[in-house]
DNA sequence: CTGTATTTTCAGAATTTCCTGAAACTTCGG
DNA sequence: CCGAAGTTTCAGGAAATTCTGAAAATACAG
């Protein structure tokens, strides 16, 4: 399972970006190989393509499976496990955002809510207020995300393709949404 | 510059989340202290509050400044530098997204475009196609982001506050956007 | 220019994260 | 039940990242 120069370049990039994306080098490369190759691959194909240890591939695949980013396919008459990436790229985008939200945002939201339960002594009045402000902002953003996420992919694609029209639509909604809720936007 | 138990809890959380957010522990904590304290603080206040070295604070502040997440304020009659976080939380959100886009998405978009410049040999036909698919998806998403980002904060807040209404609005737009562009949504 | 207060730099120590190889485990045909 | 093919686990080594302390740089009053 040798990679062409073209594929190699693509795969290397995913390895290098790994640390910025919060995943290990090999995890990124493993995903990249599965993405760019049409046929399902088994673990040994990946060892061969990436030149890393068998156990590293095993753990990387496990992590990708935990993130729902690879699929497991049994090939009849072959005992080995074969893997691919899901075909629907939009599903991949949804999964990525969902997983990042789970890891990067939800724990903080939980902590902020927990902090807010406490009765603030007078010394913490300001801090308490800032925690509220941050919590409300994050809650607003995540509800917005939840709304978008509920749209079927077709509509989401349409919305995203709107481009410049979107701004006009929202601006044109001024009558429906005349910014009356300014009491809460003290910033 | 002692922190109250409440503040300490908040600051610790930002330290712990740091690695998930792709920033160093001290950078996260430094930001958290500046965020939760009303008055501008100098480097020594931060050393005191966090119990880390002076040089670590210096580098963390430098990094936060590079990200435009802290402001630098000169206090008259005091030679030291004082720092705060910007008041407008929405500006902070915009900055965070912008910086992450710059670090996590733009390099990949550049790489995908670069790969696409190459004439694909027949062996790379599939890979070339997948690169195109990924590039188009990312370009679509980033244009959508650019559109939202051009909205003034007030309108953005209004949009985000719409909640459930948003879905109806977009769905109601079906006549304006009757999903005619299905030729491109082969997924 | 000198002396003092403050900030920055950077080599290497400390810590964390990632990867490997050996061993254990699982699955399945015979 | 045995053996072979395949997979997973995990302790410890390798690599990368973060932090520290000492020294250098900067800023400024006198």
The answer to pTM > 0.95 is no
- Could you give the angle at which helices B153-161 and A125-150 cross, rounded to 10 degrees? 70
Q: What is the pLDDT of residues B83-126, one digit of tens each?
A: 999 999 998 999 999 989 999 999 999 999 999 999 888 999 99
Specify the pLDDT at position B79.
84
Query: Taking 60 as the threshold, does the pLDDT of residue B169 lie above it?
Result: yes
Q: How many whole angstroms separate alpha carbon B166 and alpha carbon B169?
A: 5
The mean pLDDT value for A7-27 works out to 95
- Could you give the angle at which helices B153-161 and B89-100 cross, rounded to 10 degrees? 90
Whole-number average pLDDT of chain A: 87
User: Closest by alpha carbon to B93, among B139, B137, B148, B143?
Assistant: B148
Q: How many whole angstroms separate alpha carbon A3 and alpha carbon A33?
A: 9
Q: How many whole angstroms separate alpha carbon B49 and alpha carbon A128?
A: 18
Specify the pLDDT at position A164.
67
Q: Which residues contact A114 (CB under 8 A, 6 or more apart)?
A: none
Contact between A111 and B147 using a beta-carbon 8 Å cutoff:
no
Looking at the complex, does the CB of residue B118 fall below 8 Å from at least one CB of chain A?
A: yes
Distance measured from the CA of protein residue B63 to the C1' of nucleotide C1, in angstroms: 35
Q: How many whole angstroms separate alpha carbon B86 and alpha carbon B42?
A: 16
* Closest CA-bearing residue to C1' of D4: A79
> Residues 32 to 71 of B: which have CB under 8 A from any A CB?
35-38
Question: Which residues does nucleic strand C approach, with CB less than 7 A?
Answer: A 19, 23-27, 52-56, 59-60, 79; B 19, 42-44, 54-55, 58-59, 61-62, 78-81
B6, B108, B133 ranked by CB distance to A120: nearest: B6
B71 and B83 Cβ atoms separated by less than 8 Å: yes
Distance measured from the CA of protein residue A57 to the C1' of nucleotide C18, in angstroms: 12
- A81 to chain B, closest Cα gap in Å: 23
Q: How many whole angstroms separate alpha carbon B11 and alpha carbon A86?
A: 39
Can you name the residues that pair with B73 across neighbouring β-strands?
Answer: B82
Q: What is the pLDDT of residues B120-154, one digit of tens each?
A: 889 999 999 999 999 999 999 999 899 889 888 88
Tally Cβ neighbours within 10 Å of residue A30.
31
* Closest CA-bearing residue to C1' of C20: A53
B85 and B69 Cβ atoms separated by less than 8 Å: yes
């Amino acid at each position: 399972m040798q990679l062409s120069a073209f594929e190699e370049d693509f795969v290397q990039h995913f390895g290098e970006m790994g640390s910025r994306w919060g995943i290990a080098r090999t995890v990124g490369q493993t995903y990249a190989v599965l993405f760019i190759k049409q046929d399902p691959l088994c673990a040994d194909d990946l060892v061969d393509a990436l030149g890393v240890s068998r156990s590293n591939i095993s753990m990387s695949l496990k992590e990708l499976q935990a993130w729902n980013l690879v699929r497991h396919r049994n090939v009849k008459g072959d005992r080995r496990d074969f893997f691919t990436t899901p075909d629907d790229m939009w599903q991949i985008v949804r999964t990525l955002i969902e997983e990042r939200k789970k890891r990067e945002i939800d724990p903080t939201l939980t902590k902020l809510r927990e902090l807010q339960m406490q009765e603030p002594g007078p010394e913490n009045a300001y801090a308490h207020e800032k925690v509220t402000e941050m919590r409300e902002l994050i809650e607003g953003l995540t509800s917005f995300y939840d709304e978008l996420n509920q749209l079927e992919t077709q509509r989401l694609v349409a919305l995203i393709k709107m481009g410049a029209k979107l701004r006009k639509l929202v601006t044109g909604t001024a009558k429906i949404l005349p910014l009356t809720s300014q009491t809460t936007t003290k910033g």
